[in-house]
Chain A
Amino acid sequence: GENVEQHPSTLSVQEGDSAVIKCTYSDSASNYFPWYKQELGKRPQLIIDIRSNVGEKKDQRIAVTLNKTAKHFSLHITETQPEDSAVYFCAASIKGVKAAGNKLTFGGGTRVLVKP
Protein backbone atom coordinates (compact mmCIF):
# COMPACT_ATOMS: atom_id res chain seq x y z
CA GLY A 1 0.00 0.00 0.00
CA GLU A 2 0.86 3.68 -0.02
CA ASN A 3 3.51 5.00 2.35
CA VAL A 4 3.92 8.72 3.04
CA GLU A 5 6.93 10.14 4.85
CA GLN A 6 7.00 13.70 6.15
CA HIS A 7 9.92 15.88 7.24
CA PRO A 8 10.79 17.57 9.48
CA SER A 9 8.82 16.38 12.47
CA THR A 10 9.25 19.78 14.17
CA LEU A 11 10.02 23.18 12.70
CA SER A 12 10.66 26.41 14.54
CA VAL A 13 10.75 29.68 12.57
CA GLN A 14 10.84 33.38 13.33
CA GLU A 15 7.73 35.34 12.53
CA GLY A 16 7.98 36.64 8.99
CA ASP A 17 10.29 33.87 7.78
CA SER A 18 9.25 31.05 5.44
CA ALA A 19 8.51 27.46 6.41
CA VAL A 20 8.83 24.43 4.16
CA ILE A 21 7.54 20.93 4.87
CA LYS A 22 8.40 18.03 2.57
CA CYS A 23 6.64 14.73 1.90
CA THR A 24 7.47 11.72 -0.20
CA TYR A 25 5.09 9.00 -1.32
CA SER A 26 5.67 5.49 -2.58
CA ASP A 27 2.80 4.66 -4.94
CA SER A 28 3.22 6.27 -8.36
CA ALA A 29 -0.54 5.82 -8.93
CA SER A 30 -1.34 8.41 -6.23
CA ASN A 31 -2.99 11.41 -7.81
CA TYR A 32 -4.38 13.58 -5.01
CA PHE A 33 -2.29 15.35 -2.33
CA PRO A 34 -4.03 17.38 0.38
CA TRP A 35 -2.56 19.22 3.35
CA TYR A 36 -4.37 19.44 6.69
CA LYS A 37 -3.69 21.84 9.55
CA GLN A 38 -4.48 20.94 13.14
CA GLU A 39 -4.31 23.70 15.72
CA LEU A 40 -3.81 22.74 19.33
CA GLY A 41 -6.89 20.98 20.69
CA LYS A 42 -8.80 21.33 17.44
CA ARG A 43 -9.77 19.06 14.57
CA PRO A 44 -7.68 18.81 11.36
CA GLN A 45 -8.87 21.06 8.55
CA LEU A 46 -8.00 21.04 4.87
CA ILE A 47 -5.90 24.07 3.90
CA ILE A 48 -4.81 23.28 0.36
CA ASP A 49 -4.66 20.36 -2.04
CA ILE A 50 -3.10 19.56 -5.39
CA ARG A 51 -3.82 17.00 -8.06
CA SER A 52 -1.30 15.20 -10.20
CA ASN A 53 -2.14 17.14 -13.32
CA VAL A 54 -0.59 20.36 -11.91
CA GLY A 55 2.83 21.14 -10.54
CA GLU A 56 2.06 24.06 -8.22
CA LYS A 57 -0.87 25.69 -6.51
CA LYS A 58 -1.02 28.87 -4.42
CA ASP A 59 -3.50 30.31 -1.98
CA GLN A 60 -2.38 33.60 -0.44
CA ARG A 61 0.62 32.80 1.79
CA ILE A 62 0.60 29.05 1.25
CA ALA A 63 1.69 27.08 -1.78
CA VAL A 64 2.13 23.44 -2.61
CA THR A 65 4.47 21.98 -5.22
CA LEU A 66 4.43 18.50 -6.68
CA ASN A 67 7.20 16.56 -8.42
CA LYS A 68 5.62 13.40 -9.80
CA THR A 69 8.88 12.04 -11.17
CA ALA A 70 10.57 12.19 -7.78
CA LYS A 71 7.33 11.36 -5.94
CA HIS A 72 7.53 14.24 -3.53
CA PHE A 73 5.46 17.28 -2.70
CA SER A 74 6.01 20.24 -0.42
CA LEU A 75 4.10 22.87 1.52
CA HIS A 76 5.50 26.40 1.57
CA ILE A 77 4.29 29.03 4.02
CA THR A 78 5.61 32.55 3.44
CA GLU A 79 5.61 35.49 5.87
CA THR A 80 4.75 33.21 8.77
CA GLN A 81 2.53 34.53 11.55
CA PRO A 82 1.88 33.20 15.07
CA GLU A 83 -1.47 31.79 13.93
CA ASP A 84 0.42 29.48 11.57
CA SER A 85 1.64 27.56 14.63
CA ALA A 86 0.02 24.11 14.35
CA VAL A 87 0.63 20.54 13.28
CA TYR A 88 0.54 20.06 9.52
CA PHE A 89 -0.20 16.72 7.85
CA CYS A 90 0.40 15.81 4.25
CA ALA A 91 -1.53 12.97 2.63
CA ALA A 92 -1.77 11.05 -0.61
CA SER A 93 -4.48 8.99 -2.22
CA ILE A 94 -5.42 7.11 -5.33
CA LYS A 95 -8.81 7.84 -6.72
CA GLY A 96 -10.70 4.56 -6.49
CA VAL A 97 -12.05 2.86 -9.55
CA LYS A 98 -15.33 2.37 -7.75
CA ALA A 99 -17.26 5.25 -6.28
CA ALA A 100 -15.95 4.57 -2.80
CA GLY A 101 -14.25 7.84 -2.17
CA ASN A 102 -10.60 8.28 -1.53
CA LYS A 103 -8.55 6.42 1.01
CA LEU A 104 -6.05 8.93 2.31
CA THR A 105 -2.66 7.89 3.69
CA PHE A 106 -1.22 10.56 5.99
CA GLY A 107 2.32 11.51 6.83
CA GLY A 108 3.51 11.61 10.43
CA GLY A 109 2.92 15.33 10.85
CA THR A 110 5.10 18.42 11.34
CA ARG A 111 4.75 20.59 14.40
CA VAL A 112 5.38 24.18 13.35
CA LEU A 113 6.14 26.84 15.93
CA VAL A 114 6.26 30.47 14.82
CA LYS A 115 8.18 32.58 17.32
CA PRO A 116 7.14 36.23 17.60
Chain B
Amino acid sequence: DVKVTQSSRYLVKRTGEKVFLECVQDMDHENMFWYRQDPGLGLRLIYFSYDVKMKEKGDIPEGYSVSREKKERFSLILESASTNQTSMYLCASSLRTGGTNEKLFFGSGTQLSVL
Protein backbone atom coordinates (compact mmCIF):
# COMPACT_ATOMS: atom_id res chain seq x y z
CA ASP B 1 0.00 0.00 0.00
CA VAL B 2 1.15 3.56 -0.73
CA LYS B 3 2.61 5.37 2.20
CA VAL B 4 2.60 9.16 2.36
CA THR B 5 4.33 10.40 5.48
CA GLN B 6 4.19 13.90 6.88
CA SER B 7 6.95 14.76 9.32
CA SER B 8 4.81 16.32 12.06
CA ARG B 9 1.27 15.68 13.26
CA TYR B 10 1.07 18.89 15.30
CA LEU B 11 3.17 22.03 15.00
CA VAL B 12 3.02 25.31 16.91
CA LYS B 13 4.90 28.31 15.53
CA ARG B 14 5.08 32.02 16.18
CA THR B 15 4.10 34.77 13.75
CA GLY B 16 6.99 35.63 11.44
CA GLU B 17 8.77 32.29 11.79
CA LYS B 18 9.86 30.33 8.74
CA VAL B 19 8.09 26.98 8.72
CA PHE B 20 8.94 23.81 6.82
CA LEU B 21 6.41 21.02 6.32
CA GLU B 22 7.89 17.83 4.92
CA CYS B 23 6.21 15.06 2.98
CA VAL B 24 7.69 11.79 1.75
CA GLN B 25 6.04 9.09 -0.40
CA ASP B 26 7.39 5.63 -1.03
CA MET B 27 5.61 4.57 -4.23
CA ASP B 28 7.61 6.40 -6.87
CA HIS B 29 4.69 8.70 -7.69
CA GLU B 30 5.43 11.52 -10.09
CA ASN B 31 2.75 13.92 -8.80
CA MET B 32 2.73 15.45 -5.35
CA PHE B 33 0.34 18.02 -3.89
CA TRP B 34 -0.08 20.28 -0.87
CA TYR B 35 -3.62 21.10 0.29
CA ARG B 36 -4.91 22.99 3.27
CA GLN B 37 -8.13 21.90 4.93
CA ASP B 38 -10.38 24.38 6.71
CA PRO B 39 -13.92 23.70 7.99
CA GLY B 40 -16.54 24.49 5.37
CA LEU B 41 -13.93 25.24 2.71
CA GLY B 42 -12.96 21.69 1.84
CA LEU B 43 -9.47 21.02 0.58
CA ARG B 44 -7.81 23.85 -1.27
CA LEU B 45 -4.77 23.29 -3.45
CA ILE B 46 -1.70 25.35 -2.54
CA TYR B 47 0.96 23.96 -4.90
CA PHE B 48 1.62 20.82 -6.83
CA SER B 49 4.56 19.22 -8.57
CA TYR B 50 4.56 16.74 -11.43
CA ASP B 51 8.29 16.10 -11.56
CA VAL B 52 11.50 16.78 -9.69
CA LYS B 53 12.25 20.51 -9.55
CA MET B 54 8.92 21.26 -11.24
CA LYS B 55 6.17 23.14 -9.44
CA GLU B 56 2.88 24.79 -10.30
CA LYS B 57 0.70 27.14 -8.32
CA GLY B 58 -2.60 25.88 -7.08
CA ASP B 59 -5.59 27.99 -6.07
CA ILE B 60 -4.11 29.63 -2.96
CA PRO B 61 -0.30 29.90 -3.34
CA GLU B 62 0.13 33.30 -1.68
CA GLY B 63 2.41 33.16 1.35
CA TYR B 64 3.74 29.69 0.46
CA SER B 65 6.55 28.20 -1.57
CA VAL B 66 7.57 24.61 -2.28
CA SER B 67 10.63 22.56 -2.99
CA ARG B 68 11.01 19.22 -4.77
CA GLU B 69 14.66 18.26 -4.99
CA LYS B 70 13.99 14.51 -4.94
CA LYS B 71 11.12 12.56 -6.43
CA GLU B 72 9.94 11.16 -3.11
CA ARG B 73 10.02 14.40 -1.11
CA PHE B 74 7.86 17.53 -1.41
CA SER B 75 8.31 20.37 1.06
CA LEU B 76 5.95 23.23 1.82
CA ILE B 77 7.54 26.43 3.11
CA LEU B 78 5.86 29.29 4.92
CA GLU B 79 8.40 32.09 4.54
CA SER B 80 6.90 34.21 7.34
CA ALA B 81 4.08 32.46 9.14
CA SER B 82 0.92 34.42 9.86
CA THR B 83 -2.10 33.60 12.02
CA ASN B 84 -4.32 33.11 8.96
CA GLN B 85 -2.12 30.18 7.99
CA THR B 86 -3.31 28.22 11.00
CA SER B 87 -4.82 25.15 9.38
CA MET B 88 -4.58 21.44 8.69
CA TYR B 89 -2.10 20.79 5.88
CA LEU B 90 -2.44 17.63 3.81
CA CYS B 91 0.13 16.25 1.43
CA ALA B 92 -0.92 13.86 -1.34
CA SER B 93 0.65 11.95 -4.19
CA SER B 94 -0.53 10.20 -7.34
CA LEU B 95 0.77 8.45 -10.38
CA ARG B 96 1.34 10.57 -13.46
CA THR B 97 -1.57 9.93 -15.76
CA GLY B 98 -2.23 10.20 -19.37
CA GLY B 99 -4.16 7.10 -18.50
CA THR B 100 -6.82 6.30 -16.02
CA ASN B 101 -5.56 6.33 -12.46
CA GLU B 102 -5.82 9.73 -10.82
CA LYS B 103 -6.33 8.44 -7.28
CA LEU B 104 -4.83 10.67 -4.63
CA PHE B 105 -3.08 9.11 -1.65
CA PHE B 106 -3.06 11.45 1.32
CA GLY B 107 -0.77 11.81 4.28
CA SER B 108 -2.23 11.95 7.78
CA GLY B 109 -1.93 15.74 7.92
CA THR B 110 -0.09 18.39 9.94
CA GLN B 111 -2.17 20.62 12.19
CA LEU B 112 -0.29 23.92 12.22
CA SER B 113 -1.06 26.60 14.77
CA VAL B 114 0.49 30.02 14.31
CA LEU B 115 0.39 32.14 17.46
Q: How far is the CB of B26 from chain A (nearest CB, A)?
A: 15
Given contacts A1-B59, A43-B108, A101-B50, contact A89 B43 (CB under 8 A): yes
CB of B84 closer than 8 Å to a CB of A: no
Per-residue CB proximity of A1-25 to B under 8 Å, as 1/0? 1001010010000000000000000
CB of B90 closer than 8 Å to a CB of A: yes
**Dominant SS at the B interface?**
loop
The chain B residue with its CB closest to the CB of A51 is B100
Could you tell me if B56 and A32 are in contact, using CB atoms closer than 8 angstroms? Answer: no
Per-residue CB proximity of A84-102 to B under 8 Å, as 1/0? 0000010001010001111
| Number of cross-chain contacts by CB at 8 Å | 68
Could you tell me if A100 and B106 are in contact, using CB atoms closer than 8 angstroms? Answer: no
Could you tell me if A34 and B102 are in contact, using CB atoms closer than 8 angstroms? Answer: yes
Additional pairs, 19, CB under 8 Å, beyond known A93-B102, A102-B102: A9-B40, A36-B104, A43-B90, A43-B107, A44-B43, A49-B102, A89-B43, A99-B50, A99-B97, A99-B98, A100-B50, A100-B96, A101-B48, A101-B96, A101-B102, A104-B102, A105-B45, A106-B44, A108-B42
Contacts of A99 in B (CB 8 A): 50, 96-98
25 contacts between A and B (CB under 8 A): A34-B103, A34-B104, A36-B104, A43-B4, A43-B106, A43-B107, A43-B108, A43-B109, A44-B43, A44-B106, A45-B106, A46-B104, A49-B103, A89-B42, A99-B50, A101-B31, A101-B94, A102-B102, A103-B48, A104-B45, A104-B104, A105-B59, A106-B35, A106-B44, A109-B40
